[in-house]
Structure 1
Amino acid sequence: MNPAHPNYITPEGFAKLRAEYDQLLGVERPRVVEIVSWAAGNGDRSENGDYLYGRKRMREIDGQLRRLSKKMKDAKVVDPRQQPDKDKVYFGATVTIADDDDQHRTVTILGNDEADAGAGRIGWGSPIARALRGAAIGDLRRVILPAGEKEYEVIAIRYPE
């Protein structure tokens, strides 16, 4: 983990990572191991589809387990409800912003692993989140996006209760 760029995550986001890890380790992997063992007992492995697919799936699961383990190890869990200064934009804030055309957009700033731009959840490391960090209501922030530069005004800031 790069200490200059911590991998912030909400308690809920961390619980999802943990649940996915536990599902893969406790359910998926044992099921695939069972299939591979059964298929290996069926003779010639070079043309045994169940065996070959099972081995491939096991490698995929092991890779995903390694990635999830690293993410959890590097994660810094931050509960947005505990934010001491709720008048400014920090991790976990839900922010309503308006552009020059008075188009409003509401985004929640979460961990990069929790981001889903289509659902309004943006990663802490995204250009908009970086520009909004520390902003208060009424502040103007300039953001450089792939489509060009935009200026946003912070209209509202909320944190979970």
Structure 2
Amino acid sequence: MSRAFVKEDGPDNEPLPDLPISPHPNYVSPRGLAALRDRLTALQAELARLRARADRLDRLPERAAERDIRYVEARLRSAILVEPTDTAPSEAAFSTRITVVDEDDAQHEFEIVGEDEADAALGRIAPQSPLARALIGARVGDVVEWRRPAGTVSLEIIAIDPLPC
């Protein structure tokens, strides 16, 4: 094939813009740090697989993997590990599990974890979330007000435990 028809540089070969990095301190639990490391390993393996393809006309998947690797590497560099304590914490803080009862006497558990580990479906919330901000600093027996778009909810804290290591 003539070199005239090979596109070596241009918009198809430029790196994708970096993903935005949170301006907040990057606190991580041991579980969150391990998950970031596992994610980096998986992304590096995926990039190697993409580069080994016989048909590499579409470079977008490779560029996306490279961008994701840059993001995870940046998150690992900025990670501030917060080890859970062995003793029961006296107040809700990062790396704690808080059990609450709402106004309908329904019990819920929330873990305050790093942004990359947060998952509302699992009850894992980032310290910057409105719920975590309402809980941080509260003690067992306290009632906190969680301001949500759907309205304010009162939560009574019934237990605070360290996250398992």
| TM-score using structure 1 length | 0.80
2:56 corresponds in structure 1 to 51
More helix by share: 1
Identity %: 36
AA aligned to 1:89 is A
The answer on 1:76 being equivalent to 2:80 is yes
Q: Secondary structure at the match of 1:28?
A: helix
The answer on 1:152 being equivalent to 2:161 is no
For structure 1, the residue ranges without an aligned partner over 5 or more in a row are: 39-49
1:103 deviates by 1.9
AA aligned to 1:61 is A
AA aligned to 1:138 is G
For 1:75 and 1:146, the matched residues in 2 are separated by: 31
For 1:118 and 1:160, the matched residues in 2 are separated by: 17
1:9-29 deviation digits (Å, cap 9, x = unpaired): 11121111112112222x222
1:28 aligned residue (33, 42, 46): 46
1:110 corresponds in structure 2 to 113
AA aligned to 1:29 is L
AA aligned to 1:132 is L
| TM-score using structure 2 length | 0.79
Question: 5 Å matches for 1:84-95?
Answer: 86-95=89-98
**How many residues are paired up?**
143
For 2:102 and 2:42, the matched residues in 1 are separated by: 42
For 1:151 and 1:100, the matched residues in 2 are separated by: 6
1:81 deviates by 2.8
For 1:100 and 1:148, the matched residues in 2 are separated by: 12
Q: Secondary structure at the match of 1:112?
A: coil
Instruction: Judge conservation of contact 2:101–2:107 (CA < 8 Å) in 1.
Output: yes
Cα root mean square deviation, aligned: 1.8
The answer on 1:133 being equivalent to 2:136 is yes
Q: Secondary structure at the match of 2:85?
A: helix
